[in-house]
Structure 1
Amino acid sequence: MLAIYKKELKSYYTSMIGYVVAALTLVAVGIYFYAYNLLSLSPFIGYALSGASITLLIVVPILTMRSLAEEQRSKTDQLLLTAPVSIGKVVMGKFLAMVSVILLPVVIICFYPLALALFGKVPFLSSYSVIFGFLLLYAAAIAVGMFISSITESQIIAAVVSFGVLFLSFLMGGISGMVSDTAKTSLIAFTVLIIALVFLIYGMTKNVVVPVVVGLAAEGALIAVYLLKSAWLAGAINKVLNSLDIMSRFNTFVNGTLDLGAVLYYLSVIGLFCFLTYQSIEKRRWS
């Protein structure tokens, strides 16, 4: 894993990607830091990081688009599949390399509260908690982007889809508020999600039988619940949509709280999408 990590990390800095990611992140944070902390005389860096988090929509697709898509296109992924290293170590090596790229600007941001302390009292615990949440937010988004890169050979498609998925996640809180909480709405919404799941499974397995069986079983169970216990579905889709909102968890850090539930959520997202990336690569090994 260490060899993969070093190779990937070096590739980001022998190209312009590592420098572009660091520059975009620091420029965005610097603008909000100037507006919220220097002009408004606020001692808490959380609002600056909250405003700058929108750069995630650009930074993460740039960082993750080539992680696996380019190797599929150039067929160099076959070297990884036949190398004497487990796929899990390949995935973690690539993931940690990308997190290390974003870690550089985060380390620089850690000096901002110290700079503010020269002018007055600064809540260091809250400030460094929100910086930690900022890193977790980006790490979770990187895991999502890495998985998307693993299912396509095109860097452009990987970048566009990653942007779209992350953008929808940012909007998910507002979308959830506009969706009715009736059982019928949940039935329709879950049916759409099942259809999307069927296409996702087919894209990963290239097997028609498995996604069809899974889809029919899931839809049958859903209809049974709707007919027998429709109350269970009331508001269920709203809860699912809220669970897809990665930004709302970061807001707990912005409010000055080190929320262990939010930490667990981000770690779960990272674990889930690293596992899905592993499965995507494993499928190619046997296809």
Structure 2
Amino acid sequence: MNRIYFMVYNLNYGYNYFSYALGSGLLVMIVIVPILTMKSFAEERHNKSDQLLLTSPVSVTKIVLGKYLAMISILGIACVIFMIFPVIIRMLGTAHFLIDYLTILMFFLIGSVYIAIGMFLSSTTESQIIAAVGTMAVLLLLYFWSTLTNYLPSGTFANLMMVLILFALVALALQSYLQNWKFTSLIYAVFALGTIIVYFVTKTSFESLLTNILSSFDLTAVLTDLVDSNLLNIPNVFLLLSLIVAFNYLTIQVIQKRRWS
């Protein structure tokens, strides 16, 4: 599909940045990644063949990382092919190798995050359809993240309520893992009370608070900045790397819990 974008943007319209074509290719990954990751753990769980893995002498970490590296290798092969396109542009005119190759690298990192998310969701269910649809829904949410955050209310009280609801959701997620209502209730009460105190002390700091915070988690911003402004957003690069580690860790914890359950 990126070859089509390359033909349209670079060969037909004459743009000498391959990054334009690659930026449009993110939408394609929203379809491809769920298909790639939906079988990673869900199929084995459905067929009960995961018991062979869970009882093998290989550690859960190696199992998860082995599957993850296999999937990102497929993405890596595609990115290696993409590296040819700036050379083709150079043969036809002026090329911008630094920007284009940085864009390919960021495309690979974003795809690696998408794969980590898809693998995690696949580990939580035995249905491939649920894993695929769930992954596609999350990736669509991330794709339109910057647009959706702009629709959040800017009022101080509305932001206070949304922060409290967000804390409640985190507490519920923590409860589902720890199975300890007293501990999670105490954690939520401490954070909620602290938030309310800060609200009454510095109410103006809650103006558009969630919009400002959530906008910093726009995963596609690092690619957009390269395409539109030729700037590399270093904090976003660290965000992508952190999410790769985080979702691999969560997948390991899910499988580890099933191993001893």
Q: Which amino acid aligns with 1:97?
A: A
Residue from 214, 224, 246 that aligns with 1:251 = 224
User: Equivalent residue for 2:234?
Assistant: 260
User: Equivalent residue for 2:147?
Assistant: 174
Secondary structure of the structure 2 residue equivalent to 1:121? coil
Are the counterparts in 2 of residues 186 and 233 from structure 1 also a CA contact under 8 Å? yes
Are the counterparts in 2 of residues 198 and 212 from structure 1 also a CA contact under 8 Å? yes
User: Equivalent residue for 1:187?
Assistant: 160
Secondary structure of the structure 2 residue equivalent to 1:153? coil
User: Equivalent residue for 2:203?
Assistant: 230
Are the counterparts in 1 of residues 219 and 236 from structure 2 also a CA contact under 8 Å? no
TM-score by length of 2: 0.90
Are the counterparts in 2 of residues 71 and 77 from structure 1 also a CA contact under 8 Å? yes
Deviation at 1:153, TM superposition (A): 1.6
User: Equivalent residue for 1:103?
Assistant: 76
Secondary structure of the structure 1 residue equivalent to 2:142? helix
Matching of residues 137-286 of structure 1 within 5 Å: 137-205=110-178, 211-254=184-227, 255-286=229-260
Matching of residues 27-38 of structure 1 within 5 Å: 28-38=1-11
- 1:129 equivalent to 2:83? Answer no
Deviation at 1:208, TM superposition (A): 5.0
Which shifted more, 199-208 or 132-141? 199-208
Matching of residues 31-46 of structure 1 within 5 Å: 31-46=4-19
Deviation at 1:228, TM superposition (A): 3.7
Distance in 2, Cα, partners of 1:53 & 1:228: 43
- 1:75 equivalent to 2:48? Answer yes
Q: Which amino acid aligns with 1:115?
A: I
Q: Which amino acid aligns with 2:169?
A: A
Deviation at 1:185, TM superposition (A): 2.2
Q: Which amino acid aligns with 1:270?
A: I
Q: Which amino acid aligns with 2:155?
A: T
Flag structure 1 segments of 5+ consecutive residues without an equivalent. Answer: 1-27
Against the structure 1 CA distance between its residues 151 and 199, is the aligned structure 2 distance closer, same or farther, given a 3 Å change threshold? Answer: farther
Aligned length: 260
Against the structure 1 CA distance between its residues 79 and 216, is the aligned structure 2 distance closer, same or farther, given a 3 Å change threshold? Answer: farther
Deviation at 1:177, TM superposition (A): 1.7
TM-score by length of 1: 0.82
Matching of residues 81-96 of structure 1 within 5 Å: 81-96=54-69
User: Equivalent residue for 1:60?
Assistant: 33
Tell me the C-alpha RMSD between the 2 structures.
2.1
Are the counterparts in 2 of residues 187 and 223 from structure 1 also a CA contact under 8 Å? yes
Deviation at 1:241, TM superposition (A): 1.9
Distance in 2, Cα, partners of 1:284 & 1:214: 26
User: Equivalent residue for 1:4?
Assistant: none
Q: Which amino acid aligns with 1:233?
A: F
Are the counterparts in 1 of residues 110 and 240 from structure 2 also a CA contact under 8 Å? yes
Secondary structure of the structure 2 residue equivalent to 1:83? coil
User: Equivalent residue for 1:13?
Assistant: none
Which shifted more, 191-200 or 151-160? 191-200
Q: What CA deviation, in whole Å up to 9, does each residue of 1:120-155 have, x standing for no partner?
A: 121111111111111111011111111111211211
Deviation at 1:203, TM superposition (A): 4.3
Flag structure 2 segments of 5+ consecutive residues without an equivalent. Answer: none
Q: Which amino acid aligns with 1:256?
A: N
Distance in 1, Cα, partners of 2:127 & 2:194: 37
- 1:112 equivalent to 2:85? Answer yes
Deviation at 1:206, TM superposition (A): 5.6
